[in-house]
Structure 1
Amino acid sequence: MTALLLGVIFLLELALLGSAGYWGFTLDAGWPVRLLVGLGAPLVVAVVWGLFCSPRAAVALPDPAKLAVQAACFLTGGLLLALAGHAVPGVALVALWAADKTALTLTGTPI
């Protein structure tokens, strides 16, 4: 069960990066701006995730702070999808992350 939950959270993290990129590429701006934001937004999310949330994070945070950063990242991803015109998938991204995170916490798996 834990392996399945970890696999799901990994796929959700990829969807988070994809949502940031999708939002950037759908901006109502010129192609250079869309390219910059479409590639830059996922990069920013990946850097934040790598610094604070990954298993080998450069900055070790207490569990509540790590959870807060993860929640902020996923809420941002959901908001970006909503801003790109896809509110339901945005809500689904956040809800699936919250459900998976809760299930992982109940199994005692730190992530």
Structure 2
Amino acid sequence: MNMVKGANLALMFLLELGVLAGAAIWGFTLDTNPILRVIAGIGAPAMFVVVWALFAAGGGKNARFPVTGCWRVAVEIAWFGGAAVLIGLAFTAVAGIAFFAVWAVNGALRLLWRQA
């Protein structure tokens, strides 16, 4: 069972990387001026990083303003939900929904197993 729990935490890390990749891909694939694409491709993931660092980094232990309980859930829903929207815009709605669904299952298991 410890192996499955460890795999769930590894999936959480991959989902966090997916947020950053999805935001960057969305920005770099915008149908606009190349300069704005570069700004969006770098700026969108940067904004996600700032939010995560302020409120949720390291399961809340390394965050500047750590949140717990329902506030942590709200931050995660906003963070991963925002990324799901950007993934849906960059690729397809199904891709965004699938990303959010994987996060939801991962989050439910982390709650069930009391993981950070």
The TM-score range, normalised by the shorter chain, is over 0.9
Cα distance in structure 2, aligned partners of 1:67 and 1:85:
26
Q: Which residue of 2 aligns with 1:27?
A: 30
Cα distance in structure 2, aligned partners of 1:34 and 1:11:
25
Q: Percent identity?
A: 36
Map 1:27-46 to 2 at 5 A.
Answer: 27-46=30-49
Question: Runs of at least 4 residues of structure 1 off by over 6 A?
Answer: none
Q: TM (normalized to structure 2)? A: 0.90
Cα distance in structure 2, aligned partners of 1:58 and 1:90:
29
Structure 1 residue 85: Cα displacement: 3.7
| SS of corresponding position for 1:58 | coil
Cα distance in structure 1, aligned partners of 2:110 and 2:67:
18
Structure 1 residue 82: Cα displacement: 1.6
| SS of corresponding position for 2:57 | coil
- Is residue 74 from structure 1 mapped to residue 77 from structure 2 by the alignment? no
Q: TM (normalized to structure 1)? A: 0.94
Cα distance in structure 2, aligned partners of 1:17 and 1:32:
20
Amino acid at match of 2:22: S
Cα distance in structure 2, aligned partners of 1:80 and 1:60:
25
For structure 2, the residue ranges without an aligned partner over 5 or more in a row are none
Cα distance in structure 2, aligned partners of 1:29 and 1:51:
31
Query: Which of 68, 72, 97 is the equivalent residue of 1:91?
Result: 97
For structure 1, the residue ranges without an aligned partner over 5 or more in a row are none
Structure 1 residue 2: Cα displacement: 1.6
RMSD value over aligned CA atoms?
1.0
Cα distance in structure 2, aligned partners of 1:96 and 1:5:
11
Cα distance in structure 2, aligned partners of 1:51 and 1:67:
15
